[in-house]
Amino acid sequence: MPPSRDSLRAAAALREQAALGQALHAPAHAWFAAALQDERGALFDWSRTLLRQYLHDPDHDLPEPLPDDDAALLLDTVDAYRRFGVGVSGHLPAALQAWYRGLPPPHQGEPP
Protein backbone atom coordinates (compact mmCIF):
# COMPACT_ATOMS: atom_id res chain seq x y z
CA MET A 1 0.00 0.00 0.00
CA PRO A 2 1.39 3.43 -0.88
CA PRO A 3 1.41 6.30 1.56
CA SER A 4 -2.08 7.62 2.07
CA ARG A 5 -3.16 10.50 -0.16
CA ASP A 6 -3.25 12.71 2.92
CA SER A 7 0.34 11.79 3.74
CA LEU A 8 1.45 12.51 0.18
CA ARG A 9 -0.37 15.86 0.11
CA ALA A 10 1.13 16.86 3.44
CA ALA A 11 4.60 15.80 2.30
CA ALA A 12 4.22 17.80 -0.93
CA ALA A 13 3.10 20.86 1.04
CA LEU A 14 6.15 20.55 3.29
CA ARG A 15 8.47 20.30 0.25
CA GLU A 16 6.85 23.38 -1.28
CA GLN A 17 7.29 25.32 1.95
CA ALA A 18 10.92 24.25 2.19
CA ALA A 19 11.52 25.28 -1.45
CA LEU A 20 10.17 28.73 -0.57
CA GLY A 21 12.69 28.97 2.25
CA GLN A 22 10.16 28.51 5.00
CA ALA A 23 11.31 26.76 8.13
CA LEU A 24 9.89 23.29 8.70
CA HIS A 25 9.00 21.99 12.08
CA ALA A 26 11.45 19.15 12.68
CA PRO A 27 8.99 16.90 14.57
CA ALA A 28 6.70 16.91 11.52
CA HIS A 29 9.53 15.47 9.44
CA ALA A 30 10.08 12.73 11.99
CA TRP A 31 6.35 11.98 12.10
CA PHE A 32 6.09 11.64 8.31
CA ALA A 33 9.22 9.48 8.19
CA ALA A 34 7.80 7.20 10.90
CA ALA A 35 4.44 6.97 9.10
CA LEU A 36 6.16 6.00 5.84
CA GLN A 37 8.34 3.50 7.69
CA ASP A 38 5.19 1.89 9.12
CA GLU A 39 3.54 1.72 5.66
CA ARG A 40 6.65 0.47 3.85
CA GLY A 41 5.88 -3.19 4.44
CA ALA A 42 2.91 -3.04 2.07
CA LEU A 43 4.79 -1.17 -0.68
CA PHE A 44 5.96 -4.30 -2.54
CA ASP A 45 2.51 -5.88 -2.82
CA TRP A 46 0.87 -2.55 -3.70
CA SER A 47 3.36 -1.79 -6.48
CA ARG A 48 3.07 -5.33 -7.90
CA THR A 49 -0.73 -4.99 -7.94
CA LEU A 50 -0.48 -1.66 -9.73
CA LEU A 51 1.97 -3.03 -12.29
CA ARG A 52 -0.13 -6.16 -12.81
CA GLN A 53 -2.89 -3.95 -14.25
CA TYR A 54 -0.97 -3.85 -17.54
CA LEU A 55 1.67 -6.57 -17.16
CA HIS A 56 1.06 -10.27 -16.86
CA ASP A 57 4.21 -10.63 -14.80
CA PRO A 58 5.33 -7.50 -12.96
CA ASP A 59 8.76 -9.05 -12.33
CA HIS A 60 9.72 -8.68 -16.01
CA ASP A 61 11.05 -5.49 -17.53
CA LEU A 62 8.57 -2.69 -17.75
CA PRO A 63 7.19 -1.63 -21.11
CA GLU A 64 8.30 1.78 -22.32
CA PRO A 65 6.84 4.11 -21.42
CA LEU A 66 4.78 3.47 -18.35
CA PRO A 67 1.22 4.79 -18.60
CA ASP A 68 1.29 8.41 -17.41
CA ASP A 69 -1.07 7.92 -14.46
CA ASP A 70 0.78 4.88 -13.17
CA ALA A 71 4.19 6.49 -13.72
CA ALA A 72 3.13 9.59 -11.78
CA LEU A 73 1.69 7.55 -8.92
CA LEU A 74 4.75 5.30 -8.69
CA LEU A 75 7.14 8.25 -8.91
CA ASP A 76 5.29 10.25 -6.26
CA THR A 77 5.16 7.25 -3.95
CA VAL A 78 8.84 6.30 -4.24
CA ASP A 79 9.89 9.96 -4.04
CA ALA A 80 7.91 10.41 -0.83
CA TYR A 81 9.83 7.59 0.81
CA ARG A 82 13.12 8.87 -0.54
CA ARG A 83 12.54 12.48 0.52
CA PHE A 84 11.91 11.40 4.08
CA GLY A 85 14.93 9.12 4.17
CA VAL A 86 12.98 5.86 4.30
CA GLY A 87 14.73 3.17 2.29
CA VAL A 88 12.68 1.11 -0.12
CA SER A 89 15.33 -1.34 -1.38
CA GLY A 90 13.82 -4.77 -1.17
CA HIS A 91 10.34 -3.29 -0.92
CA LEU A 92 9.85 -2.75 -4.67
CA PRO A 93 9.79 -5.24 -7.55
CA ALA A 94 13.15 -5.35 -9.35
CA ALA A 95 11.66 -3.97 -12.57
CA LEU A 96 10.28 -0.96 -10.72
CA GLN A 97 13.62 -0.30 -9.03
CA ALA A 98 15.32 -0.44 -12.44
CA TRP A 99 12.72 1.94 -13.91
CA TYR A 100 13.24 4.41 -11.07
CA ARG A 101 17.04 4.28 -11.38
CA GLY A 102 16.74 5.04 -15.10
CA LEU A 103 14.84 8.30 -14.63
CA PRO A 104 16.67 11.57 -15.30
CA PRO A 105 17.68 13.76 -12.34
CA PRO A 106 16.40 14.72 -9.80
CA HIS A 107 14.87 11.24 -9.56
CA GLN A 108 17.92 9.34 -10.77
CA GLY A 109 19.65 6.91 -8.51
CA GLU A 110 18.83 3.78 -6.64
CA PRO A 111 15.95 4.19 -4.22
CA PRO A 112 17.31 4.20 -0.70
Q: How many domains, the chain?
A: 1
- Amino acid present at 14: L
| Sequential DSSP letters for 37-95 | HHHGGGHHHHHHHHHHTT-S-TTSPPPSSPPHHHHHHHHHHHHHHHHTT---TTSS-HH
Task: Say yes or no to pLDDT of 91 above 60.
Answer: yes
Supply the range of the domain harboring residue 18. 5-101
Q: Does residue 57 sit within a domain?
A: yes
Q: Does residue 66 sit within a domain?
A: yes
Q: What is the pLDDT of residues 8-39, one digit of tens each?
A: 777 788 778 777 877 666 677 888 888 899 88
Q: Does residue 15 sit within a domain?
A: yes
The mean pLDDT value for 62-66 works out to 67
Dist CA 34 CA 28 (whole Å): 10
The mean pLDDT value for 35-58 works out to 81
Q: Does residue 24 sit within a domain?
A: yes
